[in-house]
């Protein structure tokens, strides 16, 4: 059967592919430690589950407005005003099937064929395919490991040209686990402010997962709070990471531009595509964003901060691996460049992050995501997700240490 060129050319999601392989090996009885998919190991807090269950039992089973109920949209707008300093109302918010869907809708609404989207890398695997699906050209700006995986204002300035329609910012970042400070983020935004045709797409899905205990003074900062950019920032976020709700598929997008005109165009596409997300999730969104959930979100954050410390310490003790200590999200992104040209005891040769990850899974039964799909600069890296308990973390890193030491 025919497959469109547009879809055939698209890369599969490397993060989800690794997860599927690890799951298949486990099904065959192999004891795999999975550092693959970025998904919290915690269960969704009970008060959030109860809110959805109550709504379902009460018969909240019909369509609601495409971008969500007024109550859920207002809960999100109020959170964005209060916590992020974004001047918005419920009319500027649409609730989507995950932040991934919010990104898809935003790029479809923003990008015409031939437009350029600037992407600081290493960056999450789905940005480039979704930019290209919209007909755009992805212009990568490499954040060097020596600079903490961060791009500089001068690099950003050099990447923006007359065809640039958007810059994607993602802090804390997947896959590098770094977070830009407020000053660093403001400096990047100053560059963008000088280019009036450029929209900021700010993916803030990891905003709650910043670790000031590991980087004193660090706190999340939203570009949409800067007055010069308020009218041309699209903020993406969702419930997956901070609330341990990956399987629910709840994301949102906020775009106050032109009194909500951009948002209305985006919702036009959403209405033709998926319409509303499950209606009985709407009260669960209100519950998640209430004060009642904050202590549980904070306790998960603290657990991730503890794991970030453990991963950084253990990785620092592994020769042939070099890395930047994570300060946000739940990822570390070590370079395995020093392993290039070596062979495993079983004879597999290591040439890059991809061959390293393949050999590690086959011989040491640890799943990591190869770096290549996170950016052209990242081929010699692998991503380690530390969204698992500490004993798994220690076991997996011990296997990685043994595997890496045995290369010759």
**Nearest distance from C-beta of residue 251 to ligand PMP, angstroms:** 4
- Residue 174 CB-half CA count within 13 A: 23
**Is residue 338 within the footprint of ligand GLU (CB under 6 A)?**
no
| Residue 289, token pair as written in the block | 């964003």
Residue 65 dihedral angles phi and psi, to the nearest 5°: -55, 145
- For residue 404, the partner it binds in ligand PMP, ligand GLU, none, with Cβ less than 5 to 8 A by kind, is none
Tell me which stretch binds ligand GLU (CB under 6 A): 20-28, 34-42, 54-62, 274-282.
34-42
Which residue, 159 or 324, has its beta carbon nearer to ligand GLU? 324
Q: How open is the CA angle 171-175-177, to the nearest 5 degrees?
A: 55
Select the span of 59-67, 96-104, 136-144, 257-265 touching ligand PMP (CB under 6 A): 96-104
| DSSP label of 98 | H
- Tell me the CB-side half-sphere exposure of residue 171, using CA atoms within 13 A: 28
**Residue 303 binds ligand GLU, judged by CB under 6 A:** no
Q: Does 240 bind ligand PMP (CB under 6 A)?
A: yes
Positions of E strands within 71-198: 93-96, 116-121, 137-142, 164-170
Q: Which stretch binds ligand GLU (CB under 6 A): 123-131, 163-171, 191-199, 293-301?
A: 123-131
The entry of ligand GLU, ligand PMP, none near residue 238 (CB within 5 to 8 angstroms by kind) is ligand PMP
Helices 390-405 and 353-364 meet at what angle, rounded to 10? Answer: 110
Q: Total number of residues binding ligand GLU (CB under 6 A)? A: 11
Runs of H (alpha helix) within 144-281: 153-159, 182-193, 227-230, 261-273
Beta strands in 219-265 (DSSP E): 233-238, 251-254
Binding ligand PMP by CB under 6 A: which of 36, 67, 68, 98? Answer: 98
Q: Which does 13 bind (CB under 5 to 8 A by kind): ligand GLU, ligand PMP, none?
A: ligand GLU
Query: In 180-279, which residue ranges form alpha helices assigned H by DSSP?
Result: 182-193, 227-230, 261-273
Beta carbons within 8 Å of 354's beta carbon, 6+ residues apart:
370, 372, 379
The reply on whether position 205 binds ligand PMP by CB under 6 A is yes
- For residue 154, count CB atoms less than 10 angstroms from its CB and return exposed for 0-12, middle for 13-18, buried for 19 or more: exposed
Residue whose CB is nearest to ligand PMP in the complex, by number: 98
Is residue 38 close enough to count as binding ligand PMP by CB under 6 A?
yes
State yes or no: residue 16 binds ligand GLU (CB under 6 A). yes
* Interface map 79-108 toward ligand GLU (x if CB under 6 A): ---------------------x--------
In DSSP notation, 334-370 reads: -B-GGGTT-B-TTSPBP-SHHHHHHHHHHHH-EE-EE
Q: Determine which residue in the list 44, 121, 174, 344 makes contact with ligand GLU, applying CB under 6 A.
A: 174
Q: Does 23 bind ligand GLU (CB under 6 A)?
A: no
Q: Which of 37, 69, 276, 344 binds ligand GLU (CB under 6 A)?
A: 37
**Site for ligand PMP, residues 246 to 305, rule: CB under 6 A:** 246, 251
Give the footprint of ligand PMP on this chain (CB under 6 A).
Answer: 38, 98-100, 124, 170, 174, 203, 205, 238, 240, 246, 251
Give the footprint of ligand GLU on this chain (CB under 6 A).
Answer: 13, 15-16, 37-39, 100, 124-126, 174
């Amino acid at each position: 059967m025919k497959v469109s060129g547009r879809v055939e050319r698209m890369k599969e999601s490397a993060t989800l592919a690794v997860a599927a392989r690890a799951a298949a090996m486990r099904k065959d009885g192999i004891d795999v430690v999975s550092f693959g998919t970025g998904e919290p190991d915690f269960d969704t807090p009970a008060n959030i589950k109860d809110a959805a269950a109550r709504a379902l039992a009460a018969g909240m089973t019909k369509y609601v407005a495409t971008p969500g109920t007024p109550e859920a949209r207002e809960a999100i707008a109020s959170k964005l005003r209060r916590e992020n300093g974004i001047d918005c109302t419920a009319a500027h918010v649409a609730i989507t099937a995950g932040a991934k869907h919010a990104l898809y809708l935003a790029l479809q609404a923003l990008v015409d064929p031939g437009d350029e989207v600037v992407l600081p890398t290493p960056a999450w695997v789905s940005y480039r395919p979704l930019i290209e699906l919209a007909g755009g050209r992805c212009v990568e700006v490499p954040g060097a490991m020596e600079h903490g995986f961060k791009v500089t204002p001068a690099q950003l300035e050099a990447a923006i040209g007359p065809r640039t329609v958007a810059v994607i910012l993602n802090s804390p970042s997947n896959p590098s686990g770094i977070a830009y400070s407020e000053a660093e983020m403001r400096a990047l935004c100053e560059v963008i402010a000088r280019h009036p045709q450029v929209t900021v797409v700010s993916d803030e899905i990891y905003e709650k997962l910043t670790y000031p205990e590991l980087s004193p003074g660090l706190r999340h900062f939203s570009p949409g709070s800067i007055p010069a950019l308020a009218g041309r920032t699209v903020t993406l976020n969702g419930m997956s990471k901070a609330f341990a709700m990956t399987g629910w598929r709840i994301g949102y997008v906020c775009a106050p531009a032109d009194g909500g005109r951009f948002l209305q165009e985006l919702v036009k596409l959403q209405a033709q595509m998926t319409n509303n997300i499950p209606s009985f999730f709407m009260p669960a969104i209100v519950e998640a964003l209430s004060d009642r959930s904050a202590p549980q979100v904070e306790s998960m954050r603290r657990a991730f901060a503890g794991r970030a410390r453990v991963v950084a310490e253990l990785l620092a003790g592994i020769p042939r691996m070099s890395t930047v200590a994570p300060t946000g999200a739940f990822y570390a992104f070590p370079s395995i460049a020093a392993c290039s040209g070596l062979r495993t005891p079983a004879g597999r040769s290591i040439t890059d992050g991809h061959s390293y990850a393949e050999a590690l899974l086959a011989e040491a039964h640890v799943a990591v995501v190869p770096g290549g799909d996170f950016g052209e600069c990242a081929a010699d890296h692998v991503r380690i997700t530390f969204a698992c308990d500490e004993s798994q973390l220690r076991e997996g890193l011990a296997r990685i240490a043994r595997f890496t030491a045995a290369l010759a």
